[in-house]
Amino acid sequence: ARMGRTVVELFYDVISPYSWLAFEALCRYRHIWNIDLRFRPAFLGGIMQQTGNKPPAMLPKRGEYLLKDMKRMAKYYQVPLRMSADAFQHIMGTSSLTAMRFITAIDMTNPQYLEPLSREFWMRFWSQHEDITQPKNLLAVAQQAGLSAELSQKALEMISSATVKDRLKETTAEALKYGAFGMPAVVAHYDGEPHLFFGSDRLELLGSFIGE
């Protein structure tokens, strides 16, 4: 990092809609704030399991509220996130492990595609309500993000490798070490200390904290 720039890490999983909001907002702020934004693809399932956290929609009243909240947030941030009535069944019935391994493989080999690729995964799952678990769909997302067939195929082959599995586990463990219990987990390295901000609605607080 250049002198005086605050390193801000965003730990995210494409299964998390609030992560998409934080991702897009931070992508905008990085041009205005003096920050070095780092994307850290991690596995939400692992974080929930390790911390004993439960999906918020398991509480019916909270689930009802979340549907409305997401719609308002999507409109406010101007992100094409579309909540369907069965959005939570949709999440519960999907594992993001393969997608996050695929994103990790690209991060390790061609990090310049990390941002567009992650965005396309959110677009596919949260805007188009389409599958993100099948190999052919992973390749379709990669193609949308501008990756060549060759790079996409290589990443697909890498997802079953120990290197990729271990990297995703390490990133997830790092998020846990910073105190994450869900996503998005935003970690600002300020005054030599890491500071965790949870959720997409703490960005004003993050800005204020780092003097922005």
As annotated, the active-site residues are: 16
Residues 6+ apart with CB under 8 A from 157: none
Tell me phi and psi for residue 6, to 5 degrees: -85, 125
Q: What is the 3-state secondary structure (H, E, C) of 121-139?
A: HHHHHHHCCCCCCCHHHHH
Tokens for 49? 């399991």
d(CA 82, CA 124): 11
3-state secondary structure at position 9: strand
Residues 6+ apart with CB under 8 A from 176: 47, 50, 51
Q: How many CB atoms lie within 10 A of CB 58?
A: 10
State the first-to-last Cα distance of the chain, in angstroms, to the nearest integer. 17
Beta strands 6-12; 185-190: pairing state: antiparallel
